[in-house]
Amino acid sequence: MNRNPHLAVVGATGAVGLEILKTLEKRNFPVGKLTLLASARSVGKQLKFRGQDIAVRELTKDAFAGIDLALFSAGGSVSKEFAPAAVKAGCVVIDSSSAFRMDPAVPVVIPEVNAADVKLHKGIIAKPNCTTAVTLMALYPLHRAFNVKRIFASSYQAVSGSGTPGITELRRQVEQVAQGEPVTREVYPHQIAFNVLPQVDAFLPNGYTKEEMKMENEARKIMHHPTFRASMTCVRVPVYRAHSVAVSAEFEKPVTVEAAREVLSRAPGLDVVDDPEKQEYPLPLYAAERYNCQVGRLRKDCALDNGLCFWVVGDQLLKGAALNAVQIAEELLK
């Protein structure tokens, strides 16, 4: 890989694309040249990068000539259509969508967990689903110490997980309720303002949603732990940014709160925020726009043997998406 790669951001005008640009700039990623790609309707739009205006170009299959590295954040159907063309042009693809995660030839990477898997790529590296990423930031260090068998978890997922339209919908509905106007909806099947929806993504024949099954399937692959089990309920909540997950984890080895806290306090990319007497615990409001995830509410699980409960919160546009993608790019350059 070129030390100062020619880098493309695909889906540059979306919520994650814009975060990728900010993250590349903030982390001083050595971009030799930057190309911004998006659908035809965004062509000509100017985006700022390092003080310069860069015009968005149309994403086509022959747009990747001379590009070393492409960060895709435009959804699964776009990745399926254009990522193979990018690889053919000699480009390495880091993909934010679910398109390739379950492909045995594609590593799914969280750099704090399985950075070495980056080397196994055959042109495409996937980043995991945002809820999986946030959860594993706390679960994986505990797994290394105590060997996790299974988890029962519920997620509290922010509307920005649905991109800019989710944010717009919540904002609009809050205003409509405040003004006593009828509530309109376009993104979610029900009103999201002042409500919680126990559905994220489409339902599968087993009664779980696609989002809920991603936790078990992706975590097995990332942790190299084929017998790991996860029973998940994913819930959309009226929060703008940062996902929260309540986890009950069962381990093979006995685990104490003190031992768990010690392990978590040393974990990369994670802050322990856990002082119940002072009402200190991770909150999405304060985890938003931060690189590190936060973990707290540590306690012994009274319904499981060798069980531990914890609450983990992280900015799903950053650790769940843009930051993770840029960290993978940094690993590639090492």
6 belongs to the catalytic site: no
CA distance 287 to 86: 34
Active-site choice (6, 121, 143, 243): 243
Detail the DSSP E strand segments found in the chain: 6-10, 33-38, 46-49, 52-55, 57-58, 69-72, 92-95, 124-126, 148-157, 229-236, 243-251, 270-272, 293-300, 307-314
The answer on pLDDT for 1 being more than 90 is: no
Q: Of these residues, 130, 234, 293, 309, which one is catalytic?
A: 130
Query: Taking the domains of the chain in order of start, what are their residue ranges?
Result: 6-128+321-333, 132-316
pLDDT > 90: percent of the chain:
99
- Give helix 15-26 / helix 323-333 axis angle, nearest 10°: 50
> Is the pTM above the cut of 0.85?
yes
Give the model's pLDDT for residue 2: 87
Residue 225 burial (10 A CB sphere; 0-12, 13-18, 19+): middle
Q: Do domains 6-128+321-333 and 132-316 have the same CATH topology?
A: no
6-128+321-333: CATH number: 3.40.50.720
pLDDT digit string, tens, across residues 92-120: 999 999 999 999 999 999 999 999 999 99
Whole-Å CA distances, 145 to 224, 251, 257, 295, 302: 15, 9, 13, 17, 20
Tell me the mean pLDDT in the region 206-217. 98
Is 243 known to be catalytic? yes
pLDDT computed for residue 298 by the predictor: 98
Domain 132-316 has CATH 3.90.1580.10: no
Q: CA end-to-end span of the chain, whole Å?
A: 9
pLDDT digits (tens, 9 = 90+) for 9-34: 999 999 999 999 999 999 999 999 99
What's the whole-number mean pLDDT along residues 156-177? 96
Inform me whether the pLDDT recorded for 132 exceeds 90.
Answer: yes
169 confidence band (pLDDT: 50, 70, 90): very high
Distance CA 120, CA 110 (A): 14
Q: What is the pLDDT of residues 230-252, one digit of tens each?
A: 999 999 999 999 999 999 999 99
